[in-house]
Amino acid sequence: MFPEQSHRPTAHPSRLDHRVRAGRSSARRAVAVAAPMLAAALIALELGAGPSAQAQTPGPMSAGHTRAAESVVHSPRAPLEATVSEGQVKEVAPGGVLTYPSVTSCLTLTVRLRGGGLVGAHASLFQVPGELRSDRILPALKARVGGRPVLAIEVRGAVGAWHPSYFVKAIESYGDADPVPVPAGQDVEGLARAVADGLGRPRPLVTVRDVPDGDQIIR
């Protein structure tokens, strides 16, 4: 037996080529018509999204801008009350209170910020273990204040026990054979200049006053 032959007509080669060409032409016409419509739709979508779309897609930041933003976000808020023991530097928010306990032979330094906050340091004649020496207290206070505007700097305590040089070279820094400077009375002007220079602030901002022993509470 002979295999059954299909009776489906075979397309003529010339007709097949014509259909292919016609199909390609139709596809090109469809793309040509659809392309402007698609572009218009995309433009309309972008215009409609406007600032909200841009807000959701932040642009690149410079390294300095990024660090500044992070510093603002992660900076701890200063408390309203703080106790500043010997060799320490602390800050309170506007309206806050600084307490310096047991001020006897010490000096306290309170920086009043223009924004209303207070930054305080408790300078000790002799270093308390684990705390700042007298020659490190001003750099630490200066770093804490930073570039913020300052209204006043108040120095209070045992003025007669302090030589201005103690803010530059602590008593512990002298060897057995080195003579330690001894204050000759209350050197108010010398202490004021030493504090102003150490903080990088104008001398007129600094006031110095001798006060009795005890706790100091600054508002």
Report the percentage of the chain scoring pLDDT > 70: 65
134 within 8 A of 167, measured Cβ to Cβ: yes
What is the predicted pLDDT for the residue at 138? 98
**Mean pLDDT score across all residues of the chain:** 78
In a domain, 6, yes or no: no
Query: Is the same domain home to 96 and 194?
Result: yes
The verdict on pTM exceeding 0.75 is no
In a domain, 49, yes or no: yes
Q: List, for residues 46-60, the tens digit of each pLDDT value.
A: 434 443 333 343 344
Query: Is the same domain home to 91 and 166?
Result: yes
Count of domains observed in the chain: 2
Q: List, for residues 68-108, the tens digit of each pLDDT value.
A: 333 223 346 899 999 999 999 999 999 999 999 999 999 99
209 within 8 A of 159, measured Cβ to Cβ: yes
Query: Is the same domain home to 83 and 156?
Result: yes
Q: For the domain that residue 187 is a member of, what is the CATH number?
A: 3.30.1330
List the structure tokens of 212: 């009795």
- 3-state helix, strand, coil split of the chain in percent (to 5) is 40, 20, 35
Residue 210: pLDDT above 60? yes
**Rounded to whole angstroms, how far apart are CA atoms 105 and 82?**
21
Helix (H) or strand (E) holding 99: strand 97-103
Residue 40: pLDDT above 90? no
What is the predicted pLDDT for the residue at 79? 97
Domain containing 54 equals: 12-75
Query: Is the same domain home to 131 and 202?
Result: yes
Rounded to an integer, the average pLDDT of 130-156 is: 98
Query: Is the same domain home to 24 and 107?
Result: no
Query: Is the same domain home to 70 and 123?
Result: no
Select from 75, 91, 109 the last residue of a domain: 75
Query: Is the same domain home to 110 and 214?
Result: yes
**Rounded to whole angstroms, how far apart are CA atoms 66 and 72?**
10
In a domain, 3, yes or no: no
Query: Is the same domain home to 88 and 167?
Result: yes
Q: List, for residues 96-142, the tens digit of each pLDDT value.
A: 999 999 999 999 999 999 999 999 999 999 999 999 999 999 999 99
Query: Is the same domain home to 95 and 56?
Result: no
Q: Which residues, 6+ apart, have CB-to-CB distance to 181 below 8 Å?
A: 163, 165, 166
CB atoms within 10 A of CB 190: 15
In a domain, 97, yes or no: yes
Strand order in the sheet with 206-210: 89-92, 118-123, 107-113, 150-157, 206-210
List the structure tokens of 166: 């103690």
Select from 46, 75, 104 the last residue of a domain: 75
Query: Is the same domain home to 27 and 88?
Result: no
**Rounded to whole angstroms, how far apart are CA atoms 59 and 216?**
51
Residue 14: pLDDT above 60? no
Select from 49, 75, 101 the last residue of a domain: 75
**Rounded to whole angstroms, how far apart are CA atoms 132 and 126?**
10
Instruction: Please name the residue that has the structure tokens 């007669």.
Output: 160
